[in-house]
Amino acid sequence: MPRAIWTGSISFGLVSIPVGLFSATEDHTIHFHQFERGTADRIRYVRVNERTGKEVEYSDIVKGKEVGGGDYVIVEPEELADVAPGRSRTIDIVSFVDLDEIDPIYFQKTYWLAPTAEQYARPYALLREAMARSNRAGIATFVMRGKEYLTAIRADDDVLALETMFFADEIRDPANLDDLPGSTQAKGRELEMATALIESMSGPWRPEDFHDTYSERVEELIEAKRRGREIVTESEPPEPTAMSDLIAALEASVAEARGGRKKERSDTRKGAATNGKKGGKKAEPDVPDGDLSQLSKADLTAMARDLDIPGRSSMNRAELERAVAKAAGAAPAKRRKAS
């Protein structure tokens, strides 16, 4: 069972609910050590005085804030500790706001809140259900690990979620960005085609269809190098669409998206009809024996759809080939080494 990273109470009005705070997400980033090329020697970092070149003990290091003109104000660790906020024991909700009024840009990181004991389940459920019914979020501040956080507490199905938030002065004004279209208004056939493309590509939100393909490719790279296999890099990404080709690109995209949806619906109906027959089985796609490399990305996408492979919409051609081969029990075509 995960351990709470903070314990205290949620307080609203005269009601106080002891809770634990748990991280709602986990990082799957692949971490590397550093080595000198051609050796098995690890690279280590040391703290060095840039003037003398000598290593400095951590206990002898202080912090400095530049104030202009090359001048710094030096601050001792004890001085920072004196002004640091004390650890919060409560998350005091000061107001409730409509959840839809909060721009998602303010959300920073999500945590789960859970009651610390069974006897606190009733007031916890009361707060959760009341916020869900009113579509409200509780706004509060609290201190964790020496930092003060602005937070929004909201109902998320059976649990209360706490969102740490950026303060208003931490949000950058997009007006300061270069090359924004500004008052330029899209209109006419381009806007109609772009809207039609969005409509044709629309569907339900299924987060399980998406995954970290880069981390998977890194894992495959590491495993391939461990086994001494050849590494094949992907082709370059497509060139940006020229403005003169915009309408044609939109029209082709709409036709492709609509065609894909029609085929998917047709395949679903055929599959249902086949499965409805006594002893019938879902038809398997025609996978060329060990020669998937001869198929186009569109062909592989269609096969992935027939095989109901999750995340297929975000895969490149190489990933589709591997996924189809794995799902259909075929081996991906071997790549030859360039002579």
For the 6-26+84-170 domain, the top CATH level (class) is mainly beta
State the CB neighbour count (10 A cutoff) for residue 137: 25
State the CB neighbour count (10 A cutoff) for residue 120: 17
pTM here? Answer: 0.60
Residue 232 has pLDDT above 80, yes or no: no
Report the pLDDT value the prediction gives residue 164, as an integer from 0 to 100: 96
For CATH 2.40.290.10, the residue range(s) in the chain are 6-26+84-170
Q: How far is residue 18's CA from residue 119's CA, in Å, rounded to a whole number?
A: 10
pLDDT range class, residue 107, cuts 50, 70, 90: very high
Q: How far is residue 7's CA from residue 88's CA, in Å, rounded to a whole number?
A: 9
Q: Who has greater pLDDT, 140 or 321?
A: 140
pLDDT-wise least confident of 33-47, 122-136, 140-154, 324-338: 324-338
Q: Is the Cβ–Cβ distance between 111 and 162 less than 8 Å? A: yes
Q: Tell me the mean pLDDT in the region 237-246.
A: 60
Q: Is the Cβ–Cβ distance between 128 and 93 less than 8 Å? A: no
pLDDT tens string 18-45: 999 999 998 888 889 899 898 888 898 9
Q: Who has greater pLDDT, 323 or 301?
A: 323
Report the pLDDT value the prediction gives residue 240, as an integer from 0 to 100: 62
Q: How far is residue 290's CA from residue 309's CA, in Å, rounded to a whole number?
A: 19
pLDDT tens string 42-99: 898 999 999 999 999 999 999 999 999 889 999 998 888 788 777 678 898 999 999 9
Instruction: From residue 161, give the alpha-carbon distance in Å to each of 113, 139, 206, 251.
Output: 6, 12, 20, 43
Q: Who has greater pLDDT, 215 or 111?
A: 111
